[in-house]
């Protein structure tokens, strides 16, 4: 086994760091909020933190056009996407056009949070903390309401592309 010290390791670049995480498959979610207007973004950083109390986390860039809404929002919606929802993931990952315009189907849910129709499952959560992490914020939120899973398989993200679970 080779042991490296800080002095003999090359500096870690952002590209090298990203290349490592391209090998990590992640579930795909859309996170929404409302504070004066609806906003949302595609997240692969969603993580379960604790079951009791039900707590989750995700990160978002403060450079995102959605950040001003999320900075003010007290509640968020977290939507787990189905493998057939690549277009919805791409809509919320892209900047520019209104993400909530047709063909996106949504309604105002608990606490005024935009809730997307047809997803595998959704939760409405109260924001507990927004922890600075570089140019991002790590959002910690407590789940309050859930629309249980409807069945189906999740959409995944791996090596810069949407993917699906194999059958075997």
Nearest alpha-carbon partner for 163 in 42, 28, 21? 28
Tell me the mean pLDDT in the region 33-55. 95
Q: Does residue 22 fall inside a structural domain?
A: no
CATH of the domain at 71: 2.30.110.10
Tell me what pLDDT residue 6 has.
61
Domain span at residue 143 reads 36-159
Judge whether 31 lies within some domain.
Answer: no
pTM of this structure: 0.87
Mean pLDDT, the chain, as a whole number?
89
Whole-angstrom CA distances from 122 to 3, 54, 56, 78, 125 are 45, 13, 13, 5, 10
**12 vs 130, residue with greater confidence:** 130
Q: Does residue 15 lie within any of the structural domains?
A: no
The owner of tokens 């409405």 is 124
Q: Comparing 63 with 26, which gets the higher pLDDT? A: 63
Would you say residue 11 lies in a domain?
no
Question: Which range, 79-93, 94-108, 140-154, is most confident?
Answer: 79-93
- Tell whether 88 is covered by a domain: yes
146: in domain: yes
User: Would 30 be classed as within a structural domain?
Assistant: no
Q: How many domains does the chain have?
A: 1
pLDDT, residue 95, reads: 77
pLDDT, residue 73, reads 97
| Span 12-20, average pLDDT | 77
What pLDDT is attached to residue 1?
A: 58
Overall average pLDDT of the 53-77 stretch: 96
Predicted pLDDT at 34:
96
Question: Does residue 101 form part of some domain?
Answer: yes
């Amino acid at each position: 086994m080779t042991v490296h010290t800080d002095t003999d390791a090359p500096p870690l670049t952002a590209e090298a760091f990203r290349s490592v995480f391209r090998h990590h498959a992640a579930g795909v979610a859309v996170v929404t909020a409302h504070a004066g207007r609806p906003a949302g973004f595609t997240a692969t950083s969603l993580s379960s933190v604790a079951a009791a109390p039900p707590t989750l986390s995700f990160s978002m860039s403060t450079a995102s056009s959605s950040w001003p809404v999320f900075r003010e929002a007290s509640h968020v919606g977290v939507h787990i996407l189905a493998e057939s929802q690549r277009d919805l993931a791409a809509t919320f990952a892209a900047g520019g056009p209104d993400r909530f315009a047709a063909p996106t189907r949504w309604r105002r849910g608990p606490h005024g949070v935009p809730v997307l129709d047809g997803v595998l499952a959704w939760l409405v959560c109260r924001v507990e903390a927004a922890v600075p992490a570089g140019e991002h914020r790590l959002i910690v939120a407590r789940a309050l309401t859930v629309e249980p899973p409807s069945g189906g398989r999740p959409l995944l993200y791996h090596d810069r592309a949407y993917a699906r679970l194999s059958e075997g």
